[in-house]
Amino acid sequence: MEINVFNRGKAVKKLGFLALMTVLFGSVSMGAIMPVEKSWEEISNGDGIVVHRKEVAGSDLVAFRGEAVINAPIAKVANVLIETPRKLEWVHKIVEAKDVRKISEFERVEYNHTASGFFLVRDRDFVFHAKAEFDKPNQRAVFRLKSQEDPAMPETDCVRGQLDRSAYTMTSIDGGKRTHLIVEIHADPKGSVPKWLVNLFQKAWPRNTIEGIMRQVAKPDVHEHAGVKAMLEGTVGKKKAS
C-alpha cells in the first residue's frame, strides 16, 4: 500500500522521498561555467555547482539542470556513467542496477530500482533507453536517457516511474585535463505523491548527482573508458602501425 499525503504539513515529514528521485558522477573551478537559456531559472550556486530549474509545457513537474567543472578527463567521467554496477556505489538509495539489453557499445536498455527509505512508501523503479552521442570536433559526449517499455522487464511490486528526459553533457576542456559537465532531468515518480512535493525534492538531484560523480572520479580504480577516448580521438577502427 502507498502512503496518501493529505496536506503539506504531513507530506513534508516524508523527506525520505528524495531517495526516490535519485535515479540515475577533485576540486572545482567555475571558469568554464557557461550561459544558459533564459528559460532556465538559477536556484542555487555554491561549491562550484550551479543548479537551474525550468517550467515544462503541459507538465506539473519542472525540469532541473546542474553544471560544474570536474578535475578529470572526459573519458574518466564517462566511465562512471557507463559502468552500471558502479551505480551501487554512488546513486542514493539504489537497490539494483542492471543492463536489460545491450544494443551496442554505447547504447542499451537499463533497469534501476531505488528504495523509498520510508515505511508504507513503495519503492520506485525505472526502465530506460540510454544512448551516447559523440562530437569529435567539439570534444563532447552526450548520454541521453528516456523511459521505454521492455518485455524483459515487466512491472514489479515497485511503482514504475517515468523518465521523460535526462541527459549528461560532457565537454573536454583545458587540453583534456578537465571536463565541463551538465546534468539534466525531467522525471515523474508516479504514484500518489503530490507534484509540488516531487518538485521540492527533485531540485536536489543535480547537486547530488554531480557530487556523486566527483567522488567516483577521485577513486583510484576509476580509469578512462577506452572506447570513449577512441571515439573522441577518432581512432576507432584504426590499427596501430607495426
Q: Which of 38-42, 107-111, 136-140, 170-174 has the lowest mean pLDDT?
A: 38-42
pLDDT at 119: 66
Query: Residue for cell digits 517499455?
Result: 149
Domain residue ranges in the chain: 16-31+41-233
Query: Cα(137)–Cα(127) distance, rounded to whole angstroms?
Result: 32
Strands 49-54 and 63-70: what pairing?
antiparallel
Q: Which among 145, 25, 146 has a CA at the least distance from the CA of 86?
A: 25
Query: Cα(56)–Cα(39) distance, rounded to whole angstroms?
Result: 10
DSSP code, position 13: T
Look at the pTM and tell me if it is higher than 0.85: no
Q: Which of 30-34, 38-42, 67-71, 176-180 has the lowest mean pLDDT?
A: 30-34
Query: Residue for cell digits 515505511?
Result: 119
198, containing H or E segment: helix 195-202
Q: Which of 8-17, 47-56, 66-75 has the lowest mean pLDDT?
A: 8-17
Q: Give, in order, the Cα–Cα distances in Å from 229 to each of 77, 178, 222, 239, 242.
A: 11, 14, 14, 15, 21
Residue 8 reports pLDDT greater than 50: no
Q: What is the DSSP string of 47-91?
A: TTEEEEEE--TT-SSPEEEEEEEESS-HHHHHHHHH-GGGHHHHS
Q: What is the DSSP string of 206-235?
A: HHHHHHHHHHHHTSTT----HHHHHHHHT-
What CATH number is given for 16-31+41-233 in this structure?
A: 3.30.530.20
pLDDT at 38: 74
